[in-house]
Amino acid sequence: MIFSLNLAKPLGRLGYLANLVFFSVVFSAFAWGAHYLMTVKLPESGAHHEGEVAAQTAYATSLTKAKKAAAGKALSAEETAKLKAEATEVGKKKTEEAHHHASATWAPFQIFLLILVAIFFGGYASVATQRRMNDAGLHGALWLSVGHVGIWGVASFISFLPYFIAAGTTLSWLTATSVAGVMILPLLFLGAGKDDSHDAHGH
């Protein structure tokens, strides 16, 4: 069976690759969903409302002052349009300020969710890694260290990729992740194992 949490079940090279691809797609989707929720959806929902309120308040205040200054005379269409444009700018600035403040507020929750994604991703991928090593006969402390450290490094990078991209630190972390990727490469090539002939059929 390709997808299983039973360490006693063998896992060949193709099955291991299928596990890595599947988990990468699934948990990457969770990571990007969490990132979008905490950096776009939630901050913007409140920011737009505050911006609209600020624009309406600014327009009402400016309109009152303009009417007093006009000494009871009706305002021209140009003057009214100018007041609306100024109020719109006030609303935009307020929206940006509110969005920035909300993003800072939700940032810790984003990190928390991404940590959860990384833990589950790394956990499932680690089980698959151990099954692959068991099936290939790759035992010993060295293989355990290399295999599990490598897969946790890759899983963590994929889980935090949305955050790295937003922070502009992707290349910095990519170097370390490349090393982690190299650490798990032997599992895709060494030790054919007894399950390789069945991987393509999912047995």
Res 131: pLDDT: 92
Burial of 3 from C-beta contacts in 10 A (0-12 / 13-18 / 19+)? middle
Average pLDDT value for the chain: 83
Q: Please indicate, yes or no, if residue 73 is contained in any of the structural domains.
A: yes
Of 71-75, 83-87, 118-122, 177-181, the poorest mean pLDDT is in 71-75
Residue 194 has pLDDT above 70, yes or no: no
Q: Following DSSP, what letter does each residue of 153-179 receive, concatenated?
A: HHHHHHHHHHHHHHHT-HHHHHHHHHH
Residue 141 sits in which domain range?
Answer: 13-201
Q: Which residue, 112, 111, 95, 105, is CA-closest to 52?
A: 95
pLDDT of residue 202 exceeding 50, the answer is: no
Assess whether pLDDT exceeds 90 at residue 77. Answer: no
Give the pLDDT confidence score for residue 1 in this predicted structure: 60
Q: Distance (Å, rounded) from C-alpha 35 to C-alpha 155? A: 16
pLDDT of residue 74: 74
Give residue-wise pLDDT tens across range 95-108. 777 777 777 777 88
Judge whether 2 lies within some domain.
Answer: no
User: 88-115 in b/e burial notation, b at 16+ Cβ within 10 A?
Assistant: eebbeebbeebbeebbeebeeebeebbe
Q: Which pLDDT score is estimated for 80?
A: 79
Reported as a single tens digit per residue, the pLDDT across 82-134 is 878 877 777 778 777 777 777 777 788 999 999 999 999 999 999 999 999 98
Q: What's the chain's Rg over C-alpha atoms? A: 28
Query: Is residue 7 assigned to a domain?
Result: no
Q: Token pair of 20, please?
A: 């890595």
Query: SS3 string of 38-71?
Result: HHHHHHHHHHHHHHHHHHHHHHHHHHHHHHHHCC
Tell me what percent of the residues of the chain surpass a pLDDT of 90.
Answer: 34
Residue 112 lies inside a defined structural domain of this protein: yes
Q: What is the pLDDT of residue 19?
A: 94
Q: State both tokens at 18.
A: 């299928």
pLDDT in tens, 50-69: 777 777 787 778 767 777 77
Q: What is the pLDDT of residue 160?
A: 96
Pairwise CA distance, residues 59 & 184, whole Å: 62
Let me know how long the chain is.
Answer: 203
Whether pTM exceeds 0.85: no
**Does residue 1 belong to any structural domain of this protein?**
no
Number of domains in the chain: 1
Lowest mean pLDDT among 124-133, 158-167, 192-201: 192-201
